[in-house]
Amino acid sequence: MITVELARSLRDAGLVWKPASGDRFSIDTPAFKADPAEIEVFTVSDMTIEAQHYPSGTILGFNGTTEWALDSVELHEALWWPREDQLRDMLRGSFVSLARTETAGGAEPQFTVQIVFRGEASSHSAPDAAVAYAHALLTLVAASSDAA
C-alpha cells in the first residue's frame, strides 16, 4: 500500500479520482488529520460507503452501519489510496515492465517499474510494487500536466 504522502502527491499533481466500489480512501481534512500510522482507511462499497453523484458534485455517503457520527464526505475531503492494480492500469501504454530484484545481504527486494512517455524512458524503484507504480504514475501525471 502506498503512503499518505504519496497519495497526496498524486492528488496534488492532478490525478483525478472517480470513486468506485472497492476503492480505498481516508478523510483528509484538518479535523481528521492524525499521525500517518493512525489514519483510518475506508473502502467504498455499495452497502456501507457509496459514491453518490449529484449535479453539484460527488459525495461519499456513509450508510449508517459503519460510522454513526459521519453522514457524508465531499469528494475533495477524501484522499484516494489507489491499489496496485489501479496504479498499473493508469500507466496504460507507457508501462513497459515490472521487475523484482533480490538484494544482497538479505535486505528487502526491490521492485522496478519502467515506463516510456513521449520517447523518454524512466525507472522507478521501491521495496513495494505499489509504491514503485505510484512513483512512475506521479512522473507521468506531472509530465502530462507540464505539457498542458
**Which parts of the chain are beta strand (E)?**
24-27, 42-43, 49-54, 57-62, 72-74, 78-80, 95-101, 110-117, 120-126
Same domain, 45 and 26: yes
Task: Using the predicted structure, report yes or no on whether residue 148 has a pLDDT greater than 70.
Answer: no
Residue 131: inside a domain: yes
How would you class 39 by CB atoms within 10 Å of its CB: exposed for 0-12, middle for 13-18, buried for 19 or more? middle
Whose cell is 481528521? That residue is 32
Render 72-88 in DSSP notation, one character per residue: EEEGGGEEE---HHHHH
Domain boundary among 49, 80, 111: 80
What pLDDT, on the 0 to 100 scale, is given for residue 37? Answer: 65
Q: Who has greater pLDDT, 45 or 115? A: 115
Residue 7: inside a domain: no
pLDDT in tens, 43-57: 888 777 788 888 998
Task: Using the predicted structure, report yes or no on whether residue 38 has a pLDDT greater than 70.
Answer: yes
Which range of residues forms the domain containing residue 58? 18-80
Domain count, the chain: 2
CA distance linking residue 64 with residue 112, whole number of Å: 42
Same domain, 26 and 75: yes
Domain boundary among 32, 59, 80: 80
Same domain, 89 and 41: no
pLDDT band at residue 105 under the 50/70/90 scheme: confident
What pLDDT, on the 0 to 100 scale, is given for residue 69? Answer: 55
Same domain, 23 and 76: yes
pLDDT in tens, 4-17: 999 999 999 999 99
Domain boundary among 80, 101, 128: 80
Task: Using the predicted structure, report yes or no on whether residue 29 has a pLDDT greater than 90.
Answer: no
pLDDT in tens, 66-83: 555 567 788 999 999 999
Cell of 67: 460510522
What pLDDT, on the 0 to 100 scale, is given for residue 71? Answer: 72
pTM: 0.82
